Structure 1
């Protein structure tokens, strides 16, 4: 996963110590109800599109941007589905991060599904009842919340 410039700058000060970052996840559906997934280069698992917000970037705009950059698919936001805090993640280079993740269900409006960057090995559409076995656990949770067809967003109560 390419490290955004602002995170690389922070890392010069904190090294591998934990960073608290904001992220987005996108559950993109096509007109047939299939889900867009990417197979990540860092762990080989299939996952929903996700990424880090740039400083000052709105979450919905970040989700639209990430989908286009990573997959070549153009999509629009349908609704907010969940707000989660991830478990701490240790990356192969030793960096540790934890994310406030804002997740959206989106509808594909154009473009063509393809690998758009070096973060992913493959991009494909899957029927919700035919998801790949190598699905990242966090993506399985996000898909469950998004496909439950609830109008209100999920979040953990205190």
Structure 2
């Protein structure tokens, strides 16, 4: 995976110290209520399509860009479903990060799901009753996307 230039520039100044970044995640559902997942090249785990917000980008268009870059699928935003501060973490090289993650419910417009970059090993649609192992927060995101509540879930708000 290629590290964006703006992060490389920041790392040149702050070294491995904690960087606060904005993450964007998408729960992309098709008309059959299947969810789009990618098997990440860095961890080998199945995951929702996700990425980071780059300087000057707006969250929703950036997520649609990430979805297309990773899966070749064109989607549209339905609504913001979750705002979460994720726990701090570190990459194998020692770089420390913490993400504010904005998760959106998205709907398939067109495109055949396939690996479209070097960040994914596989891309597939999964029925909701036959999901591969996912992180707990991703399962919550999927559940929240399927609820009619228009208010995003956030820490301190039940959901």
TM range (shorter): over 0.9
Q: Secondary structure at the match of 1:118?
A: coil
Aligned residues: CA RMSD: 1.4
Which residue number corresponds to residue 147 of structure 2?
148
Which residue number corresponds to residue 69 of structure 2?
69
Q: 1:9 to 1:113 in 2, by over 3 A?
A: same
TM-superposed deviation, 1:2: 2.2
More moved, 94-103 vs 142-151: 142-151
More moved, 3-12 vs 135-144: 135-144
Q: Measure the CA separation in 1 of the matches of 2:141 and 2:12.
A: 32
Q: TM-score, normalised by structure 1?
A: 0.93
**Residue segments in structure 1 that go unaligned for 5+ positions in a row:** none
Which residue number corresponds to residue 45 of structure 1?
45
Which residue number corresponds to residue 97 of structure 2?
97
More moved, 122-131 vs 135-144: 135-144
Asked whether the 8 Å contact 1:45–1:136 carries over to 2, the reply is: no
Deviations 1:107-147 (A, max 9, x none): 110111111111111000001111013x2343223223223
1:12 aligns with 2:12: yes
**Residue segments in structure 2 that go unaligned for 5+ positions in a row:** none
Q: Measure the CA separation in 2 of the matches of 1:127 and 1:93.
A: 36
Q: TM-score, normalised by structure 2?
A: 0.93
Q: Measure the CA separation in 1 of the matches of 2:11 and 2:29.
A: 35
Q: 1:55 to 1:99 in 2, by over 3 A?
A: same
Q: Measure the CA separation in 2 of the matches of 1:87 and 1:2.
A: 23
Runs (4 or more) in structure 1 with deviation over 6 Å come to none
Deviations 1:26-46 (A, max 9, x none): 000111110000011111111
